[in-house]
Chain A
Amino acid sequence: GDSVTQMEGPVTLSEEAFLTINCTYTATGYPSLFWYVQYPGEGLQLLLKATKADDKGSNKGFEATYRKETTSFHLEKGSVQVSDSAVYFCALSDSGGYQKVTFGTGTKLQVIP
C-alpha cells in the first residue's frame, strides 16, 4: 500500500537558518503530494501541494518539488522564523474515487531566537 516516510524530529534551528525536512513516498499510480502544518493546539492546515511530477508547490516562503525519479517531496525554506515553529506533515493522496490520504508521522520544528 501507499506510505510516506519523513525525517524524525524534533528539528531545532536558530532564526534565519535554512530548513530542509525530507519526505519520500511509495505509491502506485500518480499521487498528489502535500505538506500540512499543525500549530500548537490546532488542526492541520494545507501549506502547499503539487499534483504532478516536477511541479513545485510554494507558500509563505516554503517550497517543495515533486520528484518522481527519487519519489521525494522535500520541504525547504531559506530563512525560518520563530513563528514557523510547528509540526509538519508530508502526505499523499491517491487518484482513486475517495482520494485516500496517507500521512507521514510528522516532524516537529522548533525555531529559537
Chain B
Amino acid sequence: NAGVTQTPKFQVLKTGQSMTLQCAQDMNHEYMSWYRQDPGMGLRLIHYSVGAGITDQGEVPNGYNVSRSTTEDFPLRLLSAAPSQTSVYFCASSAPGTGEKEQYFGPGTRLTVT
C-alpha cells in the first residue's frame, strides 16, 4: 500500500494564480481531511470529507475549495493564491469510528505564494 500520497511536493505561485493540490489514499478510508501547518500554530483543519460526495468546512476554509467524487481522491483547490496561504499542506485519511481511529498523513506539499 502506498498509503496517502500528495502531489506536488513543492510549489511556488504568484499572487492571484490558482492551483490544485492532489491527495489520494489506497486504504479505502471514508474520512479525509486537509490541514495547513504554520510555525507556532500546529495543524489547522481547512476542509474535510466523511465520504464520497460529502464535504464540510473546517477551521480555516476561506480561499480553498474541495470536492470528493471518489473514496480515493480529495483534491484541494486554491482559487486565487495569496501570500497568507504560504504554508505546508497535509492531507490525512482515517477510518470511521468513535474517535479512537488514528489519522494517516501524506508527506505534505510546501507552497510558497509570492
A residues near B (Cβ < 8 Å) are: 4, 31-32, 34, 36, 41-46, 49, 51, 89, 93-101, 103-106
Contacts and interface: CB of A to CB of B under 8 A. Distances in A.
B111 to A, nearest CB: 15
Nearest to A93: B99
Given A98-B31, A104-B42, A105-B41, A43 B107 contact: yes
A99 to B, nearest CB: 5
A74 B99 CA distance: 20
B40 interface: yes
B42 A43 contact: no
A44 B36 CA distance: 12
B108 interface: yes
A89 B4 CA distance: 19
Interface stretch (B12-20, B43-51, B66-74, B75-83): B43-51
A99 B90 contact: no
